[in-house]
Structures are given as structure tokens and as C-alpha cells.
Structure 1
Amino acid sequence: MSDQEPSSSQEPSKTLAQRAPEVAGNVLRQILEFAIDGNMTIPGAKDAAARSLQTRGDHEAAVDWLIRQHVGLAGAQGFLTNLGGLLALPVALPTNLAGLAIIQMRMIAAIAHLRGYDVNDRRVRSALTLAMLGEDEVRKQVSSGKLASTPMGIATAPVFDPALEHSVSERVFGGLGAKMAGKHVVVQVAKRIPLVGGGVGAAADGYFTYALGQYARREFIRRRG
């Protein structure tokens, strides 16, 4: 009897570990679908890209506008917590983090769409998700062998790799949590400084969004003629 106790006590943790990629994938899939498709009040990535191109008349100018627009949205804390339909979105993330992830994913997807990528392709969707880690973290993960390729490599791969998608989802989901924890520390420190208050959180969100936009611009090279 005593010989069997360790194995039975390890079963629950083993099951949770096995389910981690699935849980992360489901959460990020919901965020990605919301970002790409939008809803009645928030246009999706394709619509945002089309409007930007129509307004600016040039693909690169449209990318510039998309980045500026989403940096502004990321800095608007009230907007993040009041996205239409966001509160009904069953994602296991704090509202602010889910809202910021949607805005950043929408921006990245819109840039990729403008550059000629099919955002409905599962390879491209895995690449969009991976881009959320940011350039430095992606480079680190690829160099260490924890990930096989960059967003560009995944988007243009000859076939879709479900195992890679699971790995990407798990690492990006963990990265979002780490990013929120780091931001929380910065905001708490800033609150102790006179004349510096809640604007630090908005500035941090805007800065991270700008950095992701520039990374997406470099990573998703133009495929349109």
C-alpha cells in the first residue's frame, strides 16, 4: 500500500501539467479571435487595417497609423476595462490584462494583414500569438532551443505544427502573467514618488504596445505585390 502512495499523489499534478498547454491555448485563442473578428462595437483587425489603409492611402503609412492608434488605446485605462463584450469573454485573465492583450493582438494582426498574411491561417495565428512575447524574449527562447522559430518562420512554414502551437501558447500565456507582475512592481514603486501616479501604468502599456508594433513591422515582412 505504501509503495503506491507516491504515484497516486503525483497524478493530480501530472494531469494539471498535461492540461497547461490546452488551457493556455484556449485562453489565447479566445483573445485572438476577439482581436481579429471584433464585435458590434469594436472593429476587428481586418476592419482596422482596411480603414487605416483607406485613410492613409499607403501601406507603410497605414502601419504607422495603426501603431499610433493602438498605443493610444493601450494608454487609455478606462477603455481597457470597458471593451464591448470583454466582460463576457470567458478568459482566465484579469480584465485589464485581457483588454491590453486584445489591443496588442489586434494591432499585430492588422499589421500582418496589411503585409499580405492570411490571419485565418493557423500557422499565421500561431505566429501572431508568438509575436506577443516581444523581440527580446522570442530571440531568447529560440536561442535556448525552447522554441523552434520566430513568428516569421512559423507564419511561412510549409505545414502547420500543432505541437509548436501548444508550446507557443504555453510560453506566451506565461509571458503575459510575467509582464503584468513586472508592471505591477513598477506602478507600486511609482506611487511612492510625488507627482507620479497612475499615469505610469498607462505609459508602461503604451510603451510595450509601441515596442510590439515595431517588432511586428520588422517581423512580418511585406508579401503583397
Structure 2
Amino acid sequence: MGLIDLFKPKREQIKAARSALDAANDPTVDEGAASQAITKVMDMLLDIGLDGRGPIKSAAQVASAAKKEKGSREEAINAVARGTMYRGAFGGFVTGIGGFVTMPIALPANVLEFYVQATRMVGAIASLRGYDIQDPRIRTAVLLTLVGSKSDDVLKKAGMATGGSRVTSLALRNMPPAALMVVNKAIGFNLMRGVGTKVLGRLGRGVPVAGGFFGAGVDGYMMKKIADQAMKEFPDITGG
């Protein structure tokens, strides 16, 4: 399935992503407005990335289709990760190919596409490993996987201790919904701030055409890192 078949952000969704990027990277943005913008994007990742919408398959459906095609659970996981990595690279190429001229529109769209795909990939991996991705705590664990090695810092900033496995601690701890929302918001700020401060979105993609290849390499690499993190954070609990 191609990137365009997977997800084409609508104008209001791109606007929400742009607002979230501004909120995370501009200290002058009102705290309440910043929080609202970040929360909206994180809700979209869960709504579209995990649950699917319209022609977009849910993470559980992706997992089921991969398992049916490959037979082996681990082969299905590898296929999901590999396919998503390729689509992520393609999205990075499209974003960077126009350089600085198209970046104000292309970058927010790519950010949303990238993390929707990443969320769906992690959710599919978690589902294949036996986790209930309808459980609010697992859903937060899926989002937490997106920030990789920074997850400890994100949890600490959200006021949580991080002893033991992060996914296990989130899944087994009896966290109230309000606490999960705080963690989700902290994850969102970290993701959006990372996009704004890295060369990913500012320098290498500024040159037309060459920026496309740079974007493809960076986004493909980032998606692989997230896939590797997901395989580490969601050990198999199926017993099979």
C-alpha cells in the first residue's frame, strides 16, 4: 500500500500539526493553547494510527493481515516494520523534495503522516506480541515508544518514577485516566520539540530534490529506530 493510500492529512489536521509544532517550539505561545494543540495531535495519532478511520486499517487489522500472510508471528512483525520503514522514507522524500519553498506546508503534513504510521506500526507489533491495544495504559505505552530513549525523561517530567520495564510499569500500574493524559501530553511536547530542534526539518531538507533524499534517509532511519524500540518494549506475552 502506498503512502497516499494510507493517509492523506486533511487541511484541518495539517493546521493542527502546525499549531502543535509552534506550541512546542515557541515559548511565547500561551500555555493553555499549547496544551490544547498538543493534545489534539496526540488524540489524532491514537484515533487514526491505532483505531483506523475510513479506508485506513487499524493497527489490529494490520497485525491480523500480516500474521495471516506470513504465518509466523515474528515474520509478521518484521514485515510490518519493514513496510512502514519504506513508507516513512517515501514520506520524507516527498516532504524534502521542494526545499524551503514547500516546507511550511509539507513539514506539518509529514510530521502527522510519519507519526500516524509509526503509531500504527507500534500498535501492530504490540498486538502481535499479545497486548490489548484498546487498554488505555497500553495505548499510552505505544505512544511512549515513539520517543525511544527519551521515554524515561518524559515520564519523569510527567511526575512518574520509571523503575523496571517502562511498558510493564505502565501496563500494570493502576494509573487513572488523568495521569495517562499527562503522560500523553508530555510525549507530544517531546515529539514536536524534537522536530523543531533537529536538522531534520530545518537544514538538510532546504535544498530542492537533494532535500528529498536527505528526508527519505532520516525518516527511514527514525522509523527503524522506533520499530526496534517497539520490539524491545513489547516482549511476547502470547506464550506461543
Of the candidates 118, 127, 131, which is equivalent to residue 113 of structure 1? 127
| C-alpha RMSD over aligned residues | 2.9
Which letter does structure 2 place at the counterpart of 1:130? L
Which letter does structure 2 place at the counterpart of 1:42? I
Distance (Å, rounded) in 1 between the aligned partners of 2:157 and 2:92: 39
**Cα shift readout 1:161-207 (whole Å, capped 9, x = no counterpart):** 33432332222211222232211134247x39xx9431111111111
Of the candidates 29, 33, 37, which is equivalent to residue 51 of structure 2? 37
If asked which structure has higher relative contact order (CA below 8 Å, sep 6+), I would say: 2
State which structure, 1 or 2, has the greater radius of gyration over its C-alpha atoms: 1
Which letter does structure 1 place at the counterpart of 2:69? T
- Any residues of structure 2 matched to 1:15-26 within 5 Å, and which? 16-17=30-31, 20-21=34-35, 23-26=37-40
Which letter does structure 1 place at the counterpart of 2:204? V
- Any residues of structure 2 matched to 1:79-94 within 5 Å, and which? 94=108
- Worse overlay, 57-66 or 196-205: 196-205
Compute the TM-score of the two structures, normalised by the length of structure 2.
0.71
- Identity, in percent, stands at 26
Q: Does 1:174 align with 2:174?
A: no
Q: Does 1:152 align with 2:168?
A: yes
**Cα shift readout 1:201-223 (whole Å, capped 9, x = no counterpart):** 11111111110011010101111
Task: Indicate the residue corresponding to 2:237 in structure 1.
Answer: 223
The answer on whether the counterparts of 2:145 and 2:230 sit within 8 Å (CA) in structure 1 is yes
Distance (Å, rounded) in 2 between the aligned partners of 1:118 and 1:21: 28
Task: Indicate the residue corresponding to 2:202 in structure 1.
Answer: 185
Task: Indicate the residue corresponding to 1:7 in structure 2.
Answer: none
Structure 1's 42 and 124: CA in aligned 2 closer, same or farther, altered over 3 A? same
**Cα shift readout 1:71-120 (whole Å, capped 9, x = no counterpart):** 01111228988xxxxxxxxxxx9221111110000000000011111111
Question: Which structure 2 segments of 5+ residues have no match?
Answer: 1-26, 96-106
The answer on whether the counterparts of 2:154 and 2:183 sit within 8 Å (CA) in structure 1 is no
**Cα shift readout 1:133-187 (whole Å, capped 9, x = no counterpart):** 11x2113445788543323321232x23334323322222112222322111342
Q: How much does 1:55 deviate?
A: 1.1
The answer on whether the counterparts of 1:53 and 1:59 sit within 8 Å (CA) in structure 2 is yes
Which letter does structure 2 place at the counterpart of 1:187? G
Which letter does structure 2 place at the counterpart of 1:120? Q
